[in-house]
């Protein structure tokens, strides 16, 4: 098989179902590659205008609205819409994020939280870009803890209107994309009050700008310069008793009747809130996928550079290629392997999302939705942290040249940095994952905060978790999968995927059991739930992390299994081994501490990681060429020619 065929085989595996959509988006980005240069040079206002204009031009292709129903100009294809968004991340990331604000958050909220009257009134204009809007959830005082938003939405039966009010100094909406300049309409999240009774957070449509000026009662401030994404006009919004018609309430899950009564199909206010939030899961899936796109660009540049840059003699007069240094292989190859792994995990997530959102809502089990939300949260956290780390490592691996804006890392770093904390702070997201695991996604408890979780876990459910994660049971299950009987973890081949999976499954379950035990012990000893939680929080997060790592490895392993025999499969199997052994090596202290690695085997794993890096070194450029980042978008002419 030629290198080209191999590259294509890998690219096809990475692209998955929507290869054609991805190709179209790449083709669409190439003529606008100049924006990457303009972003360095234009003043902020002009850059914002360019981004808006280009985004509007790109909407014409229909690729930005694939997820919307056909009757409003979309394609009714959620999976394809995520694939398109992921690919958009190969270009300027302000375009990406502005697109995400407009179509994912603003349009998505109208689609998922609104009903036909809102769809009819707005969706066509949203999809075409004629109506630009905002998703006004986060407040200055409340980012992660959205349930505590200070903005109120009070129903006035006299005028049949809703009144939007910024109630205190910290309750203004902050960091809102499209707010500072372009947005005309906002989906505003606020605590609804009807007839003096509070009903929790709801969403309402509020015009914020008319003919380019703030609407009456609305105050708008620019968030000013940011670390990156300066083509997006983030801003702050204050509402001084702004009145909108009752019909502006996005009323899919709750409504105010003609006679002024509040009604909802979901009784529990917390559960209602989380159901509403759940429909917005696409945002997290999108950010995780976009982060991987940015990591692809960085790894492509650093790897191609290392495969042509020579530095220091090798004794025979010719200097040595950077990529022939063991340390350099260790820097880049595991990051490439992890990018593959997370891409396949993202594919599983994207397909599950597509299934859930393509099915009639009433046919989808609550548990399925919760598992999807958990997987989205966890994958987003791991993918965005990975992107931050990979881009940083790649920048350093290109030395001082990596510092010049023309070589792409400046924007990649600055623009993606916020990914780890927006659409859910990664740490908070991993807690969400842990909560799901500890409560088995019990729908009755989805609305608990972490302290509620503490109480719950130490109650009835703890027995279930402890039972399930009892060490002997774990080992029994693993033993049946691998040769070697009770000493499977000594006997298994180091590159056996079943061994890797067994190790990651064991870690996950053992950690989870440990958290449950610690929580129970803390509360049994009469501890305050907040203090108990605080003391065990790093274990909570570690167990969520371990869970998602297992999902990621399962996705990679399953992907390799499904490929037809041949060089592509062989190569990917080795990349998968490198990813799996790299993860076991990274956390080998834990495995040593928990009796799953002997000292000799731990050292053998480190050696095997080094050996895999050397074996994969000749394929390094092929592996990144398969990321399919168009040459025009990489810039970096000095580095990779």
**Residues within window 145-164 making contact with a copy of itself, judged by CB under 8 A:** 145, 148
Q: Is residue 196 a contact point for a copy of itself (CB under 8 A)?
A: no
* Phi then psi dihedrals of residue 162, to 5 deg: -110, 140
Residue from 2, 43, 267, 485 in contact with a copy of itself (CB under 8 A)? 43
- Cβ count near 212 (within 10 Å): 8
What's the closest the beta carbon of residue 79 comes to a copy of itself, in angstroms? 29
Binding string, 379-418, against a copy of itself, x = CB under 8 A? ---------x---x--xx--xxxxxxxx--xx--xx--xx
- What SS3 state is found at 155? strand
Residue from 175, 305, 445, 556 in contact with a copy of itself (CB under 8 A)? 175
Residue 547: closest CA among 431, 428, 420, 385 = 431
Residue from 30, 210, 359, 589 in contact with a copy of itself (CB under 8 A)? 589
139, 347, 423, 508: the catalytic one is 423
What's the closest the beta carbon of residue 172 comes to a copy of itself, in angstroms? 11
What's the closest the beta carbon of residue 231 comes to a copy of itself, in angstroms? 14
**CB nearer to a copy of itself: pick between 157 and 224:** 224
The answer to whether 540 and 475 have CB atoms below 8 angstroms apart is no
Residue from 223, 371, 447, 496 in contact with a copy of itself (CB under 8 A)? 223
Q: Is residue 126 a contact point for a copy of itself (CB under 8 A)?
A: no
Binding string, 502-531, against a copy of itself, x = CB under 8 A? --------------------------xxx-
493 is catalytic: no
Q: Which two tokens stand for residue 607?
A: 């050696």
Residue from 27, 40, 168, 467 in contact with a copy of itself (CB under 8 A)? 40
Residue 616: closest CA among 323, 383, 344 = 323
**CB nearer to a copy of itself: pick between 195 and 589:** 589
Q: Which two tokens stand for residue 171?
A: 């309750």
Q: Is residue 138 a contact point for a copy of itself (CB under 8 A)?
A: yes
The answer to whether 550 and 501 have CB atoms below 8 angstroms apart is yes
Q: Which two tokens stand for residue 627?
A: 């990321």
Count of alpha carbons within 13 Å of 108, Cβ hemisphere only? 27
Q: Is residue 427 a contact point for a copy of itself (CB under 8 A)?
A: yes
What's the closest the beta carbon of residue 641 comes to a copy of itself, in angstroms? 12
Q: Which two tokens stand for residue 215?
A: 């609407």
- Within 8 A by CB and 6+ apart from 412, the residues are 93, 294, 297, 298, 391
Q: Is residue 144 a contact point for a copy of itself (CB under 8 A)?
A: yes
- Within 8 A by CB and 6+ apart from 552, the residues are 341, 342, 344, 345, 379, 382
Q: Is residue 34 a contact point for a copy of itself (CB under 8 A)?
A: no
Q: Which two tokens stand for residue 371?
A: 């598992």
Stretch that binds a copy of itself, among 225-233, 284-292, 341-349, 621-629 (CB under 8 A): 225-233
**Residues within window 299-358 making contact with a copy of itself, judged by CB under 8 A:** 311-315, 319-320, 324-327, 330
Q: Is residue 142 a contact point for a copy of itself (CB under 8 A)?
A: yes
Interatomic CA distance for residues 78 and 69, integer angstroms: 10
Q: Which two tokens stand for residue 271?
A: 């559960």
Q: Which two tokens stand for residue 299?
A: 């790894």
Q: Which sequence positions are flagged as catalytic?
A: 423
């Amino acid at each position: 098989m030629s290198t080209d065929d191999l590259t294509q085989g890998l690219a096809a595996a990475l692209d998955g179902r929507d290869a054609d959509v991805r190709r179209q988006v790449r083709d669409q980005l190439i003529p606008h590659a100049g924006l990457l240069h303009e972003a360095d040079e234009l003043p902020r206002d002009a850059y914002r205008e360019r981004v808006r204009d280009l985004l509007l031009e790109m909407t014409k292709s229909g690729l930005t609205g694939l997820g919307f129903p056909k009757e409003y100009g979309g394609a009714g294809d959620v999976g394809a819409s995520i694939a398109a968004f992921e690919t958009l991340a190969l270009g300027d990331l302000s375009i990406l994020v502005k697109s995400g604000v407009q179509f994912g958050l603003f349009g998505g909220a109208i689609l998922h939280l609104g009903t036909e009257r809102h769809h009819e009134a707005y969706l066509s204009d949203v999809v075409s870009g004629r109506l630009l809007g905002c998703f006004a959830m986060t407040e200055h005082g409340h980012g992660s803890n959205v349930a505590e938003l200070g903005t109120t939405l009070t129903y006035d039966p006299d005028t049949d209107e809703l009144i939007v009010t910024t109630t205190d100094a910290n309750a203004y909406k902050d960091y809102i994309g499209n707010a500072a300049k372009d947005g005309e309409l906002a989906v505003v999240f606020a605590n609804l009050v009807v007839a003096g009774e509070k009903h929790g957070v709801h969403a309402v449509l509020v015009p914020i700008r008319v003919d380019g000026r703030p609407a009456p009662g609305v105050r708008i401030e620019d968030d000013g310069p940011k670390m990156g994404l300066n083509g997006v006009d983030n801003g702050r919004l204050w509402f001084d008793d702004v009145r909108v018609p009752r019909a502006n309430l996005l009323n899919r899950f709750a409504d105010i009747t003609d006679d002024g009564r509040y009604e909802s199909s979901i009784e529990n206010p917390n559960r209602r809130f989380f159901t509403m939030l759940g429909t917005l899961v696409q945002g997290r899936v999108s950010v995780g996928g976009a982060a991987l796109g940015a990591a692809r660009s960085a790894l492509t540049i650093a790897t191609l550079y290392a495969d042509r840059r020579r530095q220091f003699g090798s004794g025979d007069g010719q200097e040595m290629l950077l990529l022939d240094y063991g340390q350099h292989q260790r820097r880049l190859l595991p990051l490439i392997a992890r990018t593959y792994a997370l891409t396949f995990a993202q594919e599983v997530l994207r397909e599950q999302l597509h299934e859930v959102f393509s099915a009639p809502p009433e046919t989808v089990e609550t548990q399925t939705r919760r598992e999807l939300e958990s997987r989205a949260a966890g994958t987003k956290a791991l993918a965005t942290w990975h992107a931050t780390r990979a881009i940083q490592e790649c920048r350093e691996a290109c030395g001082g040249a990596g510092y010049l804006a023309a070589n792409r890392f400046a924007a990649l770093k600055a623009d993606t940095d916020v990914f780890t904390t927006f659409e859910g702070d990664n740490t908070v997201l991993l807690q969400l994952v842990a909560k799901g695991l500890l409560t088995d996604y019990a729908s009755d408890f989805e609305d608990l905060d972490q302290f509620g979780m503490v109480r719950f876990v130490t109650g009835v459910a703890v027995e279930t978790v402890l039972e399930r994660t009892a060490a002997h049971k774990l080992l029994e299950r693993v033993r049946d999968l691998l040769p070697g009987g009770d000493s499977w973890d000594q006997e298994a081949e180091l590159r056996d995927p079943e061994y890797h999976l067994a190790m990651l499954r064991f870690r996950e379950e053992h950690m989870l059991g440990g958290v449950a035990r610690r929580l129970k012990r803390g509360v049994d000893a009469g501890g305050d739930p907040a203090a108990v939680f605080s003391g065990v929080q790093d274990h909570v997060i570690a167990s969520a992390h371990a869970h998602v790592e297992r999902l990621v490895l399962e996705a990679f392993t399953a992907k390799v299994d499904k490929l037809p025999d041949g060089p592509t499969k062989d190569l990917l199997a080795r990349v998968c081994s490198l990813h799996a052994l790299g993860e076991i090596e990274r956390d080998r202290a834990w495995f040593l501490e928990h009796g799953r690695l002997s000292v000799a085997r731990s050292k053998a794993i480190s050696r095997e990681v080094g050996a895999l890096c050397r074996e994969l070194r000749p394929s390094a450029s092929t592996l990144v060429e398969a990321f399919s980042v168009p040459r025009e978008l990489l810039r970096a002419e000095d580095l990779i020619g």
